[in-house]
Amino acid sequence: KSASNGAITKTGPGNESLGCPGSCDELVVALRRYPRRIPAPCAPCAPSAAYAMEELEAPGPGTYERLVALLLGKDYASMSHGACRTSEDAVRVRLAGGWQDVTLHSGAKAMLLRTPKPSANPGDAQWLLAVLPADAKLSWKKLRALHGKGTRIASEEEVAEVTGCLPGAVPPIAAAFPRQAAVLADVTLPEVINFNCGLRTRSIQMKRQCYESVQPATFADIIE
């Protein structure tokens, strides 16, 4: 190469002469030798592999995630399965998934209730989660004797707002809910319980002792 008037002249085959000074011409030559490759378009972003599409539908997996965080370091078993809304469906999928000694009685059924709250404002109310064996029936007479005649079952909209769950997915652990709720559990709750854990497609099994260590609850006779 030789310099002339600030330009770089390349000698050799073709006697190319480029008008850019110094390294600029060399960069142009390099770029011509290695043409720019345009990357293939990216595939559309997929939902998180941790969840099925139906699990991401409103109200979403928030309660499930808070529950798993509460159980960090605790001794429990978990299972993913097909969606189930009823306690009978849950028994079938848990047995099919390999859990032993799963019965309707071992299911911890969680029912969200709205109860009158004694206060200066009669419009105030509080939320109560009744927890009982899935083969038992809630006694409204006993419950209302404890919490007032105005106690009623929550609507589906209220369930979603208070628990962050669809009906059939509500766990017996209100500590994972986005809204505050007290827990009233029946004294006959068995020593090992199974329940949907915020999603209709996931179950948890744990000992009652573990349950009580995670969820403060009042125990009373609330079934027929």
36-94: pLDDT as tens digits: 444 443 333 333 448 778 788 889 899 999 999 999 999 999 999 999 989 999 999 99
pTM above 0.85, yes or no: no
Backbone conformation region of residue 70, classed left if phi is above 0, alpha if psi is from -120 to 50, else beta: alpha
SS3 113: strand
SS3 55: helix
Q: Looking at the chain, how many residues does it have?
A: 224
